Protein backbone atom coordinates (compact mmCIF):
# COMPACT_ATOMS: atom_id res chain seq x y z
CA UNK A 1 0.00 0.00 0.00
CA UNK A 2 1.96 3.03 -1.24
CA UNK A 3 2.76 5.98 0.95
CA UNK A 4 -0.02 8.34 -0.13
CA UNK A 5 -0.28 11.18 2.35
CA UNK A 6 -1.29 14.47 0.78
CA UNK A 7 1.15 17.28 0.13
CA UNK A 8 4.50 17.38 -1.63
CA UNK A 9 6.29 17.79 1.70
CA UNK A 10 5.67 14.06 2.23
CA UNK A 11 7.43 12.55 -0.75
CA UNK A 12 8.91 13.38 -4.11
CA UNK A 13 8.29 11.72 -7.43
CA UNK A 14 11.71 10.33 -8.27
CA UNK A 15 12.83 8.55 -11.42
CA UNK A 16 15.48 5.87 -10.77
CA UNK A 17 18.92 6.53 -12.23
CA UNK A 18 19.95 4.35 -15.13
CA UNK A 19 22.11 1.33 -14.21
CA UNK A 20 24.46 0.53 -17.08
CA UNK A 21 24.49 -2.96 -18.57
CA UNK A 22 22.50 -4.67 -15.80
CA UNK A 23 22.67 -8.42 -15.22
CA UNK A 24 20.94 -10.89 -12.90
CA UNK A 25 22.74 -11.79 -9.70
CA UNK A 26 19.89 -13.52 -7.90
CA UNK A 27 16.13 -13.75 -7.66
CA UNK A 28 14.02 -15.32 -4.92
CA UNK A 29 11.25 -17.61 -6.24
CA UNK A 30 9.47 -17.43 -2.87
CA UNK A 31 9.40 -13.63 -2.97
CA UNK A 32 8.35 -13.71 -6.63
CA UNK A 33 5.26 -15.68 -5.60
CA UNK A 34 4.22 -12.79 -3.34
CA UNK A 35 3.72 -10.54 -6.34
CA UNK A 36 2.62 -13.32 -8.71
CA UNK A 37 5.70 -12.87 -10.89
CA UNK A 38 5.99 -15.83 -13.32
CA UNK A 39 9.46 -17.38 -13.51
CA UNK A 40 10.75 -19.63 -16.25
CA UNK A 41 12.65 -22.90 -15.99
CA UNK A 42 15.86 -20.89 -15.61
CA UNK A 43 14.48 -19.25 -12.46
CA UNK A 44 14.27 -15.82 -14.10
CA UNK A 45 11.15 -13.79 -14.98
CA UNK A 46 9.45 -14.98 -18.16
CA UNK A 47 9.08 -11.35 -19.23
CA UNK A 48 12.65 -10.10 -19.98
CA UNK A 49 11.59 -6.48 -19.27
CA UNK A 50 11.75 -7.28 -15.54
CA UNK A 51 15.54 -7.05 -15.64
CA UNK A 52 15.41 -3.40 -16.68
CA UNK A 53 12.53 -2.70 -14.28
CA UNK A 54 14.40 -4.08 -11.28
CA UNK A 55 17.56 -2.29 -12.38
CA UNK A 56 15.65 0.99 -12.40
CA UNK A 57 16.02 1.47 -16.16
CA UNK A 58 12.32 1.33 -17.01
CA UNK A 59 9.04 1.80 -15.16
CA UNK A 60 7.03 -0.82 -17.00
CA UNK A 61 7.00 -4.40 -18.17
CA UNK A 62 4.74 -6.02 -20.74
CA UNK A 63 1.71 -5.81 -18.43
CA UNK A 64 2.64 -3.58 -15.46
CA UNK A 65 3.48 0.11 -15.22
CA UNK A 66 4.61 2.23 -12.27
CA UNK A 67 3.98 5.85 -13.35
CA UNK A 68 4.74 7.56 -10.02
CA UNK A 69 7.84 6.21 -8.24
CA UNK A 70 8.57 8.11 -5.04
CA UNK A 71 11.10 8.71 -2.30
CA UNK A 72 9.71 9.59 1.13
CA UNK A 73 10.95 11.97 3.80
CA UNK A 74 11.47 10.96 7.43
CA UNK A 75 13.62 12.03 10.36
CA UNK A 76 15.13 10.19 13.28
CA UNK A 77 17.67 9.52 15.97
CA UNK A 78 20.97 7.96 14.89
CA UNK A 79 23.12 6.39 17.60
CA UNK A 80 20.91 8.14 20.16
CA UNK A 81 21.36 11.63 18.68
CA UNK A 82 18.67 13.60 16.88
CA UNK A 83 19.75 13.69 13.22
CA UNK A 84 16.94 15.83 11.87
CA UNK A 85 15.56 15.27 8.39
CA UNK A 86 16.62 12.08 6.67
CA UNK A 87 14.61 10.18 4.08
CA UNK A 88 14.91 7.61 1.30
CA UNK A 89 18.37 8.58 0.13
CA UNK A 90 18.79 5.65 -2.27
CA UNK A 91 15.54 3.70 -2.02
CA UNK A 92 12.83 4.45 -4.57
CA UNK A 93 9.34 3.04 -4.13
CA UNK A 94 7.89 2.00 -7.47
CA UNK A 95 4.39 1.24 -6.17
CA UNK A 96 2.08 -1.48 -4.94
CA UNK A 97 1.82 -4.95 -6.45
CA UNK A 98 -0.55 -7.54 -4.98
CA UNK A 99 -0.41 -5.97 -1.52
CA UNK A 100 3.37 -5.51 -1.50
CA UNK A 101 5.30 -2.28 -1.95
CA UNK A 102 8.10 -2.77 -4.47
CA UNK A 103 11.14 -0.68 -3.59
CA UNK A 104 14.50 -0.45 -5.34
CA UNK A 105 17.43 0.03 -2.96
CA UNK A 106 20.43 1.54 -4.71
CA UNK A 107 18.41 3.03 -7.56
CA UNK A 108 20.08 6.44 -7.51
CA UNK A 109 20.00 9.91 -6.02
CA UNK A 110 16.81 11.33 -4.52
CA UNK A 111 16.01 14.67 -2.93
CA UNK A 112 16.89 13.08 0.41
CA UNK A 113 20.30 11.65 -0.55
CA UNK A 114 22.18 14.43 1.23
CA UNK A 115 25.85 13.80 0.35
CA UNK A 116 25.31 10.23 -0.87
CA UNK A 117 25.42 8.88 -4.40
CA UNK A 118 22.15 6.97 -4.17
CA UNK A 119 23.81 3.70 -5.08
CA UNK A 120 24.30 0.42 -3.25
CA UNK A 121 27.16 -2.00 -3.80
CA UNK A 122 27.09 -5.65 -4.76
CA UNK A 123 28.48 -6.72 -1.38
CA UNK A 124 25.73 -5.18 0.75
CA UNK A 125 22.99 -6.03 -1.75
CA UNK A 126 23.84 -9.74 -1.59
CA UNK A 127 23.90 -9.62 2.21
CA UNK A 128 20.48 -7.95 2.38
CA UNK A 129 19.02 -10.30 -0.22
CA UNK A 130 20.17 -13.44 1.56
CA UNK A 131 19.34 -12.30 5.07
CA UNK A 132 15.86 -11.02 4.20
CA UNK A 133 14.92 -14.41 2.79
CA UNK A 134 16.73 -16.29 5.57
CA UNK A 135 14.86 -14.36 8.27
CA UNK A 136 11.54 -15.07 6.58
CA UNK A 137 12.36 -18.78 6.52
CA UNK A 138 13.22 -18.59 10.24
CA UNK A 139 9.69 -17.29 10.83
CA UNK A 140 10.80 -13.79 11.83
CA UNK A 141 8.84 -10.79 10.47
CA UNK A 142 10.91 -9.06 7.80
CA UNK A 143 10.91 -7.14 4.57
CA UNK A 144 11.51 -9.51 1.68
CA UNK A 145 14.08 -9.42 -1.10
CA UNK A 146 12.94 -10.13 -4.63
CA UNK A 147 16.19 -9.78 -6.52
CA UNK A 148 19.67 -8.39 -6.91
CA UNK A 149 20.64 -6.83 -10.22
CA UNK A 150 24.31 -6.03 -10.73
CA UNK A 151 26.38 -3.78 -12.97
CA UNK A 152 30.06 -3.09 -13.59
CA UNK A 153 29.35 0.58 -12.83
CA UNK A 154 31.91 1.77 -10.27
CA UNK A 155 30.95 2.91 -6.78
CA UNK A 156 33.43 4.28 -4.25
CA UNK A 157 33.13 3.29 -0.59
CA UNK A 158 36.22 2.38 1.44
CA UNK A 159 37.47 1.04 -1.90
CA UNK A 160 36.19 0.93 -5.48
CA UNK A 161 33.30 -1.54 -5.76
CA UNK A 162 30.57 -2.28 -8.29
CA UNK A 163 26.96 -1.13 -8.13
CA UNK A 164 23.86 -3.25 -7.55
CA UNK A 165 20.15 -2.76 -6.91
CA UNK A 166 18.27 -4.88 -4.38
CA UNK A 167 14.51 -5.05 -4.98
CA UNK A 168 12.68 -5.16 -1.64
CA UNK A 169 9.09 -6.03 -0.79
CA UNK A 170 6.97 -5.18 2.25
CA UNK A 171 3.31 -4.38 2.91
CA UNK A 172 4.63 -0.94 3.91
CA UNK A 173 8.01 0.67 4.55
CA UNK A 174 6.55 3.22 6.99
CA UNK A 175 8.91 3.61 9.93
CA UNK A 176 9.13 5.34 13.29
CA UNK A 177 11.09 8.07 11.56
CA UNK A 178 8.03 9.12 9.57
CA UNK A 179 6.21 9.89 12.81
CA UNK A 180 9.24 11.70 14.20
CA UNK A 181 9.50 13.86 11.09
CA UNK A 182 6.00 15.30 11.32
CA UNK A 183 6.22 15.63 15.08
CA UNK A 184 9.44 17.64 14.71
CA UNK A 185 7.59 20.00 12.36
CA UNK A 186 4.63 20.17 14.77
CA UNK A 187 2.48 19.07 11.84
CA UNK A 188 -0.39 17.31 13.57
CA UNK A 189 -2.38 17.13 10.34
CA UNK A 190 0.25 14.91 8.72
CA UNK A 191 0.71 12.90 11.92
CA UNK A 192 -2.98 12.15 12.00
CA UNK A 193 -3.02 11.20 8.32
CA UNK A 194 -0.11 8.84 8.90
CA UNK A 195 -1.72 7.20 11.93
CA UNK A 196 -5.08 6.91 10.16
CA UNK A 197 -3.40 5.30 7.15
CA UNK A 198 -1.78 2.65 9.37
CA UNK A 199 -4.99 1.97 11.25
CA UNK A 200 -7.04 1.66 8.07
CA UNK A 201 -4.69 -0.68 6.24
CA UNK A 202 -2.71 -2.56 8.90
CA UNK A 203 -4.24 -2.11 12.35
CA UNK A 204 -8.03 -2.03 11.76
CA UNK A 205 -8.68 -3.39 15.26
CA UNK A 206 -7.43 -0.07 16.69
CA UNK A 207 -10.36 1.78 15.16
CA UNK A 208 -12.70 -0.02 17.58
CA UNK A 209 -11.03 1.47 20.66
CA UNK A 210 -12.07 4.65 22.47
CA UNK A 211 -8.52 5.93 21.97
CA UNK A 212 -7.47 4.57 18.56
CA UNK A 213 -4.10 6.36 18.47
CA UNK A 214 -3.13 5.03 21.89
CA UNK A 215 -4.20 1.58 20.71
CA UNK A 216 -2.05 2.03 17.60
CA UNK A 217 0.99 2.94 19.69
CA UNK A 218 0.49 -0.15 21.88
CA UNK A 219 0.11 -2.38 18.82
CA UNK A 220 3.29 -1.08 17.16
CA UNK A 221 5.21 -1.38 20.43
CA UNK A 222 3.94 -4.92 21.02
CA UNK A 223 4.98 -6.09 17.56
CA UNK A 224 8.48 -4.68 17.97
CA UNK A 225 8.84 -6.13 21.47
CA UNK A 226 8.05 -9.57 20.09
CA UNK A 227 10.33 -8.97 17.10
CA UNK A 228 13.41 -8.21 19.18
CA UNK A 229 12.72 -11.27 21.35
CA UNK A 230 12.76 -13.38 18.20
CA UNK A 231 16.06 -11.79 17.18
CA UNK A 232 17.59 -12.72 20.53
CA UNK A 233 16.34 -16.27 20.25
CA UNK A 234 18.27 -16.92 17.02
CA UNK A 235 21.29 -14.77 17.91
CA UNK A 236 20.59 -12.06 15.34
CA UNK A 237 22.21 -8.65 15.74
CA UNK A 238 20.77 -5.84 13.63
CA UNK A 239 23.73 -3.53 14.00
CA UNK A 240 22.05 -0.13 13.49
CA UNK A 241 18.85 0.20 15.51
CA UNK A 242 18.39 3.90 14.78
CA UNK A 243 14.79 5.06 15.13
CA UNK A 244 14.57 5.61 11.36
CA UNK A 245 15.40 1.92 10.84
CA UNK A 246 12.44 0.66 12.91
CA UNK A 247 9.33 -0.52 11.08
CA UNK A 248 5.87 0.66 12.07
CA UNK A 249 4.68 -2.86 11.19
CA UNK A 250 7.18 -4.65 13.42
CA UNK A 251 9.28 -5.94 10.52
CA UNK A 252 13.02 -6.39 10.36
CA UNK A 253 14.12 -3.76 7.84
CA UNK A 254 17.26 -2.00 6.60
CA UNK A 255 19.80 -4.79 6.68
CA UNK A 256 23.23 -3.22 7.02
CA UNK A 257 26.06 -4.36 9.31
CA UNK A 258 23.97 -7.21 10.75
CA UNK A 259 25.37 -10.50 11.95
CA UNK A 260 24.36 -13.77 13.56
CA UNK A 261 26.25 -14.89 16.63
CA UNK A 262 28.85 -17.57 16.10
CA UNK A 263 30.71 -17.88 19.40
CA UNK A 264 28.25 -16.63 22.01
CA UNK A 265 29.19 -13.34 23.58
CA UNK A 266 26.36 -11.58 25.37
CA UNK A 267 27.92 -8.19 24.56
CA UNK A 268 28.81 -8.98 20.94
CA UNK A 269 29.01 -5.95 18.62
CA UNK A 270 28.43 -6.79 14.95
CA UNK A 271 28.99 -3.26 13.57
CA UNK A 272 32.61 -2.12 13.79
CA UNK A 273 31.37 1.49 13.42
CA UNK A 274 29.56 1.07 16.76
CA UNK A 275 32.59 1.83 18.93
CA UNK A 276 30.49 2.39 22.06
CA UNK A 277 28.53 -0.84 21.71
CA UNK A 278 25.16 0.93 21.72
CA UNK A 279 23.67 -1.78 19.51
CA UNK A 280 25.40 -4.82 21.03
CA UNK A 281 23.41 -8.07 21.21
CA UNK A 282 22.41 -7.75 24.86
CA UNK A 283 21.34 -4.11 24.44
CA UNK A 284 18.93 -4.67 21.55
CA UNK A 285 15.83 -5.03 23.74
CA UNK A 286 16.46 -1.82 25.69
CA UNK A 287 17.32 0.07 22.49
CA UNK A 288 14.09 -1.08 20.86
CA UNK A 289 12.29 0.10 24.01
CA UNK A 290 14.10 3.45 23.65
CA UNK A 291 12.90 3.67 20.05
CA UNK A 292 9.35 3.06 21.22
CA UNK A 293 9.83 6.01 23.58
CA UNK A 294 10.74 8.08 20.50
CA UNK A 295 7.51 6.92 18.88
CA UNK A 296 5.53 7.77 22.01
CA UNK A 297 6.98 11.28 22.01
CA UNK A 298 6.12 11.69 18.34
CA UNK A 299 2.55 10.47 18.83
CA UNK A 300 1.91 12.65 21.89
CA UNK A 301 0.06 15.34 19.86
CA UNK A 302 -2.42 12.69 18.70
CA UNK A 303 -3.16 11.59 22.25
CA UNK A 304 -3.55 15.23 23.27
CA UNK A 305 -6.45 15.64 20.83
CA UNK A 306 -8.79 14.13 23.44
CA UNK A 307 -6.65 14.41 26.59
CA UNK A 308 -4.98 17.08 28.65
CA UNK A 309 -1.22 17.26 28.20
CA UNK A 310 -0.66 15.82 31.67
CA UNK A 311 -3.01 12.91 31.07
CA UNK A 312 -1.56 12.25 27.63
CA UNK A 313 1.94 11.97 29.09
CA UNK A 314 0.77 9.61 31.82
CA UNK A 315 -1.19 7.44 29.38
CA UNK A 316 1.79 7.06 27.07
CA UNK A 317 4.20 6.36 29.94
CA UNK A 318 1.92 3.59 31.12
CA UNK A 319 1.63 2.18 27.60
CA UNK A 320 5.40 2.31 27.17
CA UNK A 321 5.83 0.30 30.37
CA UNK A 322 4.05 -2.60 28.66
CA UNK A 323 7.02 -3.11 26.32
CA UNK A 324 9.38 -4.88 28.77
CA UNK A 325 6.52 -7.05 30.02
CA UNK A 326 5.67 -8.16 26.48
CA UNK A 327 9.33 -8.68 25.63
CA UNK A 328 10.06 -10.74 28.76
CA UNK A 329 7.05 -13.00 28.20
CA UNK A 330 8.01 -13.59 24.57
CA UNK A 331 11.71 -14.11 25.31
CA UNK A 332 11.01 -16.54 28.14
CA UNK A 333 8.59 -18.51 26.01
CA UNK A 334 11.04 -18.76 23.13
CA UNK A 335 13.97 -19.85 25.27
CA UNK A 336 11.85 -22.37 27.15
CA UNK A 337 10.98 -23.92 23.79
CA UNK A 338 14.64 -23.84 22.74
CA UNK A 339 15.36 -26.01 25.78
CA UNK A 340 12.35 -28.24 25.09
CA UNK A 341 10.45 -27.04 28.15
CA UNK A 342 6.75 -26.89 27.33
CA UNK A 343 5.53 -26.80 30.94
CA UNK A 344 6.23 -23.56 32.81
CA UNK A 345 7.88 -24.23 36.15
CA UNK A 346 9.49 -21.89 38.67
CA UNK A 347 13.23 -21.94 38.21
CA UNK A 348 13.16 -22.25 34.42
CA UNK A 349 14.39 -18.70 33.84
CA UNK A 350 17.26 -19.16 36.28
CA UNK A 351 18.17 -22.35 34.41
CA UNK A 352 18.19 -20.46 31.09
CA UNK A 353 20.25 -17.58 32.49
CA UNK A 354 22.82 -19.94 34.02
CA UNK A 355 23.20 -21.62 30.66
CA UNK A 356 23.69 -18.36 28.76
CA UNK A 357 26.32 -17.24 31.25
CA UNK A 358 28.20 -20.52 30.86
CA UNK A 359 27.95 -20.24 27.06
CA UNK A 360 29.33 -16.71 27.25
CA UNK A 361 32.21 -17.75 29.50
CA UNK A 362 33.22 -20.56 27.12
CA UNK A 363 32.21 -18.73 23.90
CA UNK A 364 30.08 -21.66 22.76
CA UNK A 365 28.67 -21.66 19.22
CA UNK A 366 25.14 -20.34 19.76
CA UNK A 367 23.32 -22.06 16.90
CA UNK A 368 25.04 -25.44 17.08
CA UNK A 369 24.71 -25.75 20.84
CA UNK A 370 20.95 -25.26 20.91
CA UNK A 371 20.52 -27.56 17.91
CA UNK A 372 22.54 -30.28 19.64
CA UNK A 373 20.54 -29.91 22.86
CA UNK A 374 17.70 -31.75 21.16
CA UNK A 375 19.84 -34.89 21.27
CA UNK A 376 19.81 -34.98 25.06
CA UNK A 377 17.50 -37.72 26.29
CA UNK A 378 15.81 -38.36 29.58
CA UNK A 379 17.79 -40.68 31.80
CA UNK A 380 21.14 -39.91 30.21
CA UNK A 381 24.26 -39.54 32.29
CA UNK A 382 25.92 -36.14 32.20
CA UNK A 383 29.18 -37.77 31.10
CA UNK A 384 27.43 -39.10 27.98
CA UNK A 385 26.41 -35.65 26.70
CA UNK A 386 28.88 -34.87 23.92
CA UNK A 387 28.30 -31.12 23.81
CA UNK A 388 29.59 -30.67 27.38
CA UNK A 389 33.07 -31.20 25.93
CA UNK A 390 32.80 -27.85 24.11
CA UNK A 391 32.85 -25.96 27.40
CA UNK A 392 36.16 -24.76 28.82
CA UNK A 393 34.95 -25.22 32.40
CA UNK A 394 33.56 -28.75 32.20
CA UNK A 395 33.24 -29.06 35.96
CA UNK A 396 31.25 -25.85 35.93
CA UNK A 397 28.82 -26.90 33.20
CA UNK A 398 28.22 -30.43 34.46
CA UNK A 399 25.99 -29.30 37.34
CA UNK A 400 23.89 -27.36 34.82
CA UNK A 401 23.44 -30.44 32.64
CA UNK A 402 22.52 -32.39 35.75
CA UNK A 403 19.82 -29.88 36.63
CA UNK A 404 18.62 -29.85 33.02
CA UNK A 405 18.25 -33.63 32.97
CA UNK A 406 16.29 -33.46 36.22
CA UNK A 407 14.06 -30.75 34.72
CA UNK A 408 13.36 -32.83 31.62
CA UNK A 409 11.85 -35.55 33.81
CA UNK A 410 9.00 -33.13 34.56
CA UNK A 411 8.09 -32.90 30.85
CA UNK A 412 5.36 -35.21 29.56
CA UNK A 413 6.57 -35.37 25.95
CA UNK A 414 8.85 -38.25 25.01
CA UNK A 415 12.35 -37.67 23.63
CA UNK A 416 11.32 -37.96 19.98
CA UNK A 417 8.42 -35.52 20.25
CA UNK A 418 10.51 -33.07 22.28
CA UNK A 419 13.35 -33.14 19.74
CA UNK A 420 10.91 -32.42 16.92
CA UNK A 421 9.68 -29.32 18.72
CA UNK A 422 13.22 -28.21 19.57
CA UNK A 423 14.40 -28.71 15.99
CA UNK A 424 11.52 -26.52 14.82
CA UNK A 425 12.79 -23.54 16.83
CA UNK A 426 16.55 -24.18 16.90
CA UNK A 427 17.78 -23.76 13.30
CA UNK A 428 20.48 -25.95 11.82
CA UNK A 429 21.57 -23.24 9.37
CA UNK A 430 21.94 -19.48 9.66
CA UNK A 431 23.57 -16.85 7.44
CA UNK A 432 26.95 -16.83 9.09
CA UNK A 433 29.15 -13.91 8.08
CA UNK A 434 31.82 -16.14 6.64
CA UNK A 435 29.30 -17.93 4.41
CA UNK A 436 28.02 -14.62 3.09
CA UNK A 437 31.60 -13.44 2.52
CA UNK A 438 32.48 -16.51 0.46
CA UNK A 439 29.38 -15.93 -1.70
CA UNK A 440 30.23 -12.24 -2.11
CA UNK A 441 33.82 -12.90 -3.16
CA UNK A 442 32.65 -15.40 -5.77
CA UNK A 443 30.01 -12.96 -7.01
CA UNK A 444 32.64 -10.26 -7.37
CA UNK A 445 34.29 -12.66 -9.83
CA UNK A 446 30.96 -13.08 -11.68
CA UNK A 447 30.22 -16.46 -10.11
CA UNK A 448 26.77 -16.29 -8.51
CA UNK A 449 26.45 -20.00 -7.78
CA UNK A 450 27.16 -19.63 -4.06
CA UNK A 451 24.45 -16.98 -3.69
CA UNK A 452 22.00 -19.47 -5.23
CA UNK A 453 23.25 -22.25 -2.96
CA UNK A 454 22.83 -20.16 0.19
CA UNK A 455 19.36 -19.05 -0.88
CA UNK A 456 18.30 -22.67 -1.31
CA UNK A 457 19.94 -23.78 1.94
CA UNK A 458 18.58 -20.93 4.07
CA UNK A 459 15.05 -21.37 2.72
CA UNK A 460 14.83 -24.50 4.92
CA UNK A 461 16.93 -23.61 7.98
CA UNK A 462 15.34 -26.17 10.31
CA UNK A 463 15.84 -29.18 8.01
CA UNK A 464 18.90 -31.41 8.28
CA UNK A 465 19.92 -31.20 4.56
CA UNK A 466 22.86 -33.66 4.78
CA UNK A 467 24.29 -32.45 1.47
CA UNK A 468 24.90 -29.06 3.10
CA UNK A 469 26.26 -30.32 6.42
CA UNK A 470 29.48 -28.32 6.02
CA UNK A 471 27.47 -25.07 6.02
CA UNK A 472 26.42 -25.67 9.62
CA UNK A 473 29.99 -25.52 10.89
CA UNK A 474 31.41 -22.56 12.83
CA UNK A 475 33.68 -20.22 10.87
CA UNK A 476 37.29 -21.24 10.31
CA UNK A 477 39.80 -19.47 12.51
CA UNK A 478 40.81 -16.94 9.87
CA UNK A 479 37.19 -15.87 9.23
CA UNK A 480 35.91 -15.54 12.79
CA UNK A 481 36.19 -11.78 12.98
CA UNK A 482 34.91 -10.43 9.65
CA UNK A 483 34.39 -6.69 10.08
CA UNK A 484 31.12 -5.23 8.83
CA UNK A 485 30.35 -1.51 8.87
CA UNK A 486 27.55 0.85 7.90
CA UNK A 487 29.21 1.45 4.52
CA UNK A 488 27.17 -0.05 1.70
Confidence at residue 1, expressed as pLDDT on a 0 to 100 scale? 43
For residue range 313-345, list pLDDT tens digits in order. Answer: 999 999 999 999 999 999 999 999 999 999 999
| Residue 329 Cα distances to 202, 226, 267, 322, 349, angstroms | 24, 9, 22, 11, 11
Structural Rg of the chain based on CA atoms: 23
Are 25 and 443 contacting, i.e. CB atoms less than 8 angstroms apart?
yes
Closest CA relative to residue 341, chosen from 435, 399, 397, 409: 409
What pLDDT is stored for residue 157 in this prediction? Answer: 87
CA distances from 206 to 200, 215, 313, 356 (A): 9, 5, 20, 38
- Using an 8 Å Cβ cutoff, are 83 and 73 in contact? no
CA-to-CA distance for 372 and 385, rounded, in angstroms?
10
Q: What is the pLDDT of residue 485?
A: 66
Cα separations (Å) of 292 from 183, 211, 300, 481? 14, 18, 12, 32
Question: What's the rounded Cα separation, in Å, for the pair 158 and 127?
Answer: 17
* Contact between residue 266 and residue 360 where contact means Cβ atoms under 8 Å apart: yes
CB 408 within 8 A of CB 339: no
Number of H helices, E strands in the chain: 15, 12
Structural element, H or E, at residue 120: strand 120-121
Residues 102, 170: Cα–Cα separation, whole Å: 7
Active-site residue flag, 262: no
- Which tens digits make up the pLDDT trace of 377-411? 999 999 999 999 999 988 889 999 999 999 999 99
Q: Write down the pTM of the prediction.
A: 0.96
- For residue 275, what pLDDT is reported? 86
Residue 190's pLDDT band, with cuts at 50, 70 and 90, is: very high
Annotated catalytic residue within 88, 244, 262, 274: 244
Give dist(CA 201, CA 197) in Å, integer. 6
pLDDT in tens, 231-247: 999 999 999 999 999 99
Report the relative pairing of strands 144-156 and 23-27 from DSSP bridges.
antiparallel
- Strands 144-156 and 160-170, sheet pairing: antiparallel
Amino acid sequence: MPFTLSGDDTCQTTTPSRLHDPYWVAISPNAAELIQLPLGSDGLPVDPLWLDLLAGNTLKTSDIEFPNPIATVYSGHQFGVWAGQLGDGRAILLGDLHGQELQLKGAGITRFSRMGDGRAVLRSSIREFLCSEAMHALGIPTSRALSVVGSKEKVIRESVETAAVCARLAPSFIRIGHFEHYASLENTVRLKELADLLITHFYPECSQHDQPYLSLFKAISKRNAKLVAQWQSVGFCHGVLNSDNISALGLTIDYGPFGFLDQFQIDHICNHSDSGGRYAYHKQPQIMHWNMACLASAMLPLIEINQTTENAHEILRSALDEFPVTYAKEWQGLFRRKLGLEIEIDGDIELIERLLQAMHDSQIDFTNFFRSLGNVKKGMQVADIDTRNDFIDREGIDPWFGDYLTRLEQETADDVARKMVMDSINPKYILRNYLAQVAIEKAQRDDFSEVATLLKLLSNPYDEQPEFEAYSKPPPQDMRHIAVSCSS
